A = this chain, B = another copy of it.
Amino acid sequence: MIEVALFGAGRIGKIHAANLVKQPGVKLKYVVDVHAPSAEALAAEHGATVTSVEAAFADPSIGAVVIGSSTDTHADLILRAAQAGKHIFCEKPVDLDVARAKACAEAVAKAGVTALIGFQRRYDPTFAAVKARIESGEIGTPEVLVVTSRDPGAPPVNYIKSSGGIFKDMLIHDFDIFRWILDDEAVSVYAQGSCLVDPAIAEAGDVDTTAVTIRTKSGRLCQINTSRRAAYGYDQRFEVMGSKGMLQAGNHRPTEVTAYTAEKVTSDLPEHFFLERYRNAYAIEMAHFVEAITNGTPVKTTVADGLKALELAEAATLSWKEGRIVNL
């Protein structure tokens, strides 16, 4: 039985807790959150105990930690967990600072603990099927990747101010998709950004709409387009064209109802946001983590992946800010 401490009892913490307690061989022992009522409610729901960061790390019976607290706490908690020899499940991003993320990668490697970074999209059944089918050779050599990634609405400007900017906060997922799907590394990044949704976002020094182009070592091309606001909800698609064909990953929708009226044929909007769209992905991700720490097998989304995605996000930010192509 592996005992686990969870940091963060907010929206994502609740999801990870619910998925964690369904796994065999693990027990959620502690919940830690700066907001005491949240910690207490979540702990009560799962028969866990509220405690402090210090106490959690000091308890030798804790074998693993799940980090779902705010981004600025990630690196510190990773470093402490590595030092304490505890396995780590940490939400993306590792950190907003590349040097600190590198330090995390090194600490984890040195400690020899398992560390999974929460790029949950890789565990989504649709996205994972595309990856598996590329690997099976179904479309030959991948050549072009087009990623569309749009949120249903922009977060509060206060959140944006401390988010590290749209490239680190939002596109970091898309940069990970790029590396995973094309299985190649970037040699150049070009990022265009525009503020079309809300002028307050521009005042906060950020953009809400982006268009990124990446060229890989082997000459493959990737285009990413994102927006902080799609009127029709959460839009998470990509398509990859290879020498023998194309695979498209489409949106999921709540029901398979089609309606024919005097005006139009209509079907459902996509699943509304990430909690709905990636519900299965989060569950599969947690099962994968528990299996990895139970069996000592490697995880699919490592701190090194988190670092690579962050480096792309940093390059994209630079490209956008300075209006130039950034070579890597």
Contacts and interface: CB of A to CB of B under 8 A. Distances in A.
Contact of A190 (B126, B141, B190): B190
Given A144-B227, A265-B269, A323-B325, A219 B196 contact: yes
A245 B260 contact: yes
Contact of A245 (B231, B249, B256, B325): B231
Contacts of A143: 194, 196, 209, 227
Contacts of A265: 232, 253, 266-269
A188, A241, A323, A325 — which one has the most chain B CB atoms within 10 A of its CB? A241
Contacts of A257: 126, 129-130, 133, 247-250
Interface string A218-251: 0111110101011110010000011111111111
Interface in A248-290: 248-269
Contacts of A192: 188, 190, 213, 215, 221
B190 A262 contact: no
A139 interface: yes
A261 B221 CA distance: 20
B221 A210 contact: yes
Kindly report how many copies of this chain are found in the complex they form together.
4
A125 B255 contact: yes
B209 A138 contact: no
B264 A266 contact: yes
Contact of A146 (B139, B148, B188): B148
Interface in A103-136: 125-126, 129-130, 133
Given A232-B245, A244-B231, A259-B246, A144 B219 contact: no
12 contacts: A138-B261, A141-B196, A143-B194, A143-B196, A144-B211, A146-B225, A190-B190, A194-B215, A221-B225, A232-B260, A235-B260, A266-B267
Interface of A: 125-126, 129-130, 133, 138-141, 143-144, 146, 148, 150, 188, 190, 192, 194-197, 209-211, 213, 215, 219-223, 225, 227, 229-232, 235, 241-269, 323-325
